[in-house]
Amino acid sequence: MPSDILYNEEKADEPLETPTTELGEIIPATPSAEVIISPTIVGKYLNIQSNGDVTIGDYAGGQGIFWDQSAGVLSILGGLSIDYLDIPDTVTANSFHVDVDGNAWWGATTLAGALAAVLKTGVASFKSITLDTNVIIKDMQAGSVVDGTYINSLNVSKLVTGTISSKQITLAITGGSGDSYIGAGKTDFTNVQTGFILGLDDSDGDTPKFFIGDATTYLNWDGANLTVSASSIVKLFTAGMAITLGEAVFMYSDGKVYSTDALQASMVTAFIGIAKENIASAATGKVQTFGNITGLAGLTVGSIYYLKNATQNIDQSQTVSTTADQDTFGSERWQSFTSGAGMTHISQIEVYVHQGAAAVHNWRMKIYTGEGTGGTLLYTQTLAGAAAGDQNLVYTLSAPINISAATQYSITLEDLTSNGYWWYNNAGGYAGGRSSWNAAHDAYFITRYTTARGALNTAAGTVSKKVGIAISATEFTLKDSV
């Protein structure tokens, strides 16, 4: 009996009739008993083979369905629209589901109990996940958190600059597994390598240690003792005057450093160290306050070195005295002068006075910018005169004052005690200035500047101050207590 049924494509839209063959009807319209047949149905969009394979649509052209009976596989090409998906069903816990809203989940019959889920909003959750081989996680948003107790392995070279806020990094050791440390250059707690190492020494009972430096210059904390080799302390200071490399300096009351002069007790007692570089006036530079001073020359090994007297040099002067009738009691008298070429500072002022009957007079000297007392006050100092009569008053400034070359300044003098007189030349004679009482008169005065400031010597200065001991021809140990 023929088993093929041919479908008339021209009548595809007409109602199907009961299929027949030459032998008559094979599928009753109302079957009274089970009828089993294995037909082959061939059509443009429906193909049923006798072996059970079924093709619907244009599968070969990429838009259709194919059921492979022998493999038990259903293949779909093209779009598929369904309301929801439940694999294998709606009641099995180990299952996969997609609901009508587009949410997908695994491992539970409901979305709320899912072990893994991807929501339609793009939010995903998984109980655990393993990413392997060329994994890239991009564009994590602010506030994103990688949560969990352990990261099994993290390449330190991949860390970027950041801040740890109110958190701690604690080093620890698994016994016998090696040191735990942070370092650069050094890989062990020794001075063989140059660099630093901070951490725990596994070979020494997990002792915390810190080593920094090299084989000759180092600082070591071995857990019990601090060892410092060839140490020095260098600090930054602002210079109140031009300072040269190697000069001894002192701290003045204005918070600035100046070169020392052992003639002045205030400069000696305020000595703080040695300049490590040339420092311009008002600039900031390095001063070594402790340790070995190197880079010197001509030292005598084993000798103690002291601060040395500076050399006072005359810049401007008028020393002819013909008259002493300018009473300075209760009245500032002044003499202007013009600084010389190349001058940078004043270190000393000298005047010649006549003191009355009182045993001691207090004489106040000031220095102003410009001519007269209308400029900026640069300095004030008071000296006690000796017994009655003529005498020189020498004001050694507690710290040199900076001046400009070829610039006019004024010295004032006032007797705070009684009638005192400033000697002067009634014929004048000084071209760089004048007196306050007469443009043709010039008071007796001398301005000085220093050279060889901040020098050291094996002999003590006027005010003795030991600075250090020479340990070679080019180096001495800076110590305050030698």
Residue 403's contacts (CB-CB under 8 Å, 6 or more residues apart) are 339, 343, 344, 345, 346, 378, 409
pLDDT tens for each residue of 422-477:
999 999 999 999 999 999 999 999 999 999 999 999 999 999 999 999 999 999 89
- pLDDT at residue number 232: 82
- pLDDT at residue number 325: 76
Do the beta carbons of residue 391 and residue 385 sit within 8 Å?
Answer: yes
CA-closest candidate to residue 414, choices 449, 348, 347, 368:
368
pLDDT band at 23 (very low <50, low <70, confident <90, very high): very low
pLDDT band at 25 (very low <50, low <70, confident <90, very high): very low
pLDDT tens for each residue of 287-327:
999 888 888 889 999 999 999 999 999 999 999 999 987 78
CA-closest candidate to residue 447, choices 310, 261, 317:
317
pLDDT band at 353 (very low <50, low <70, confident <90, very high): very high
Please give the share of the chain, as a percent, with pLDDT higher than 70.
89
CA distance 143 to 134: 25
Question: What count of other Cβ atoms lies within 10 Å of the Cβ of residue 56?
Answer: 15
What three-state secondary structure class fits 465? coil
Listed in order, the ranges of the chain carrying CATH 2.60.120.820 are 312-451
Can you read off the two tokens belonging to residue 53?
A: 């394979």
pLDDT tens for each residue of 389-435:
899 999 999 999 999 999 999 999 999 998 899 999 999 999 999 99
CATH of domain 312-451: 2.60.120.820
Hunting for tokens 């998906």 — which residue is that?
85
Cα angle 207, 211, 216 (rounded to 5 degrees) comes to 140
CA-closest candidate to residue 362, choices 317, 401, 393, 325:
393
Mean pLDDT to the nearest integer, 206-230: 91
CA distance 46 to 268: 114
Mean of all residue pLDDT scores within the chain: 88
Reported as type and span, the H/E element at residue 443 is strand 442-443
Which residue type does 280 have? A
CA distance 63 to 56: 9
Q: Would the pLDDT of 5 be above 60?
A: no
Ramachandran region of residue 322, left (φ > 0), alpha (ψ -120 to 50) or beta? alpha
> What are the Cα distances from residue 173, in Å, to 155, 177, 183, 247, 427?
19, 7, 16, 51, 92
CA distance 247 to 287: 10
- The burial class, CB within 10 Å (0-12 / 13-18 / 19+), for 287 is buried
pTM score, whole prediction:
0.57
CA distance 101 to 287: 76
Residue 186's contacts (CB-CB under 8 Å, 6 or more residues apart) are 193, 194, 195, 196, 197, 211
- pLDDT at residue number 359: 73
Q: Would the pLDDT of 83 be above 90?
A: no
CA distance 254 to 271: 14
Sign of CA dihedral 390, 436, 429, 426: negative
pLDDT band at 20 (very low <50, low <70, confident <90, very high): very low
Radius of gyration over every alpha carbon of the chain, rounded to an integer in angstroms:
51
- pLDDT at residue number 151: 64
Do the beta carbons of residue 381 and residue 362 sit within 8 Å?
Answer: no
Preceding amide of 19 cis, omega within 30? no
pLDDT tens for each residue of 248-289:
999 999 999 999 999 999 999 999 999 999 999 999 999 999
